């Protein structure tokens, strides 16, 4: 989550050999975030075996252990043998982005109340370990968020090579998708207390009202204190060391 999965999904869904899920994050194998009413996994895809090689599921909840437990086990029990593409980001930056995303939904619990959960999502070795209990490491491709943003062509070539599909296709190369833009205090207050009334406004008035609220609402993105960042780094240190040891990913550029 908050590591460019939507951007990557948008880039890959135009590949003629890939059939994207509807929606992008069905969370079919999740328990907490299960979002679809589908009896079978195949119902999520318009898969044509004469054209498609892969069905693509972009559910970020599949790597939110321990809040989402046993996801790889359920995938295995479904008789699937997928390829996994795991995008990793500077763990502190990912947590800050996650906090600000969470804060945009005032009907949810306070972001800082879920900080431990957000730290867990940034324990990349722990998340991958859930999968290597059921699938081989060769079925996992790790992508660096910075490469995804700055070296898209190279990343897409490596993904196509990993999947064994053609690199010759018209790609969607637009900017980053699903970027978190922190909402201001006034906007969050109105969302929390009056959002249910907005559906009764005419479409044009609704758009103008939203624009005015955004314009005059003071935005204050959530930031970690120096102490919080130090504590988070300490909580992540062992996992980062294991991630580098077992997957050869250089975590020193993140300060670990």
Helix 203-216 crosses helix 185-198 at what angle (to 10 degrees)? 160
Report residue 65 as tokens: 């252990």
pLDDT score, position 169: 76
How many C-beta atoms lie closer than 10 Å to residue 64's C-beta?
Answer: 21
Tell me: the pLDDT tens digits for 229-245? Answer: 999 999 999 999 999 99
Q: How far apart are CA 72 and CA 87, in angstroms?
A: 17
pLDDT at 253: 96
Per-residue model confidence as pLDDT tens digits over 174-184 = 555 666 666 66
Average pLDDT on 12-30 reads 95
| Each residue's pLDDT tens digit, 109-168 | 889 999 999 999 999 999 999 999 999 999 999 999 999 999 999 999 999 999 999 988
Contact 51, 107 (CB under 8 A): no
User: Tokens 């996801």 map to which residue?
Assistant: 71
> 65 falls in which pLDDT band (50, 70, 90)?
very high
* Rg (the chain; Cα; Å): 20
Question: What confidence score (pLDDT) does residue 67 get?
Answer: 95
Residue 12: the pLDDT is 95
Q: List the chain domain ranges.
A: 5-181+221-254, 185-216
Q: Which segment of 62-71, 212-221, 246-255 scores lowest on mean pLDDT?
A: 212-221
The third-level CATH classification (topology) of the domain covering 5-181+221-254 is: Rossmann fold (3.40.50)
Nearest Cα neighbor of 222 from 149, 114, 80 is 114
Instruction: Indicate the average pLDDT of the chain.
Output: 88
């Amino acid at each position: 989550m908050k590591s460019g999965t939507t951007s990557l999904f948008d880039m890959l869904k135009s590949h003629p050999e890939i059939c994207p899920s509807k929606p992008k994050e069905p969370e079919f194998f999740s328990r907490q975030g299960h979002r679809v009413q589908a009896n079978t996994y195949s119902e999520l895809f318009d898969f044509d075996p004469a054209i498609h090689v892969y069905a693509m599921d972009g559910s970020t909840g599949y790597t939110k252990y321990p809040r989402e437990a046993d996801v790889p086990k359920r995938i295995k029990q479904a008789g699937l043998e997928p390829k996994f593409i795991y995008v990793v980001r500077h763990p502190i930056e990912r947590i800050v982005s996650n906090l600000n995303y969470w804060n945009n939904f005032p009907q949810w619990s306070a972001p800082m109340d879920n900080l431990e959960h957000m730290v867990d999502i940034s324990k990349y070795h722990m998340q991958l370990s859930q999968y290597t209990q059921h699938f081989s490491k060769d079925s996992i491709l790790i992508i660096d968020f910075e490469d995804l943003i700055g070296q898209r062509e190279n990343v897409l070539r490596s993904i196509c090579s990993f999947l064994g599909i053609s690199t010759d296709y018209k790609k969607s190369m637009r900017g980053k998708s699903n970027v978190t833009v922190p909402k201001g205090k006034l906007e969050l207050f109105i969302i929390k207390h009056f959002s249910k009334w907005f559906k009764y406004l005419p479409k044009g008035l609704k758009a103008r009202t939203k624009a005015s609220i955004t314009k005059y609402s003071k935005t204050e993105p959530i930031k970690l204190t120096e102490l919080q960042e130090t504590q988070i780094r300490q909580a992540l240190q062992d996992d980062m060391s294991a991630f580098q040891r077992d997957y050869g990913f250089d975590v020193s550029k993140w300060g670990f």
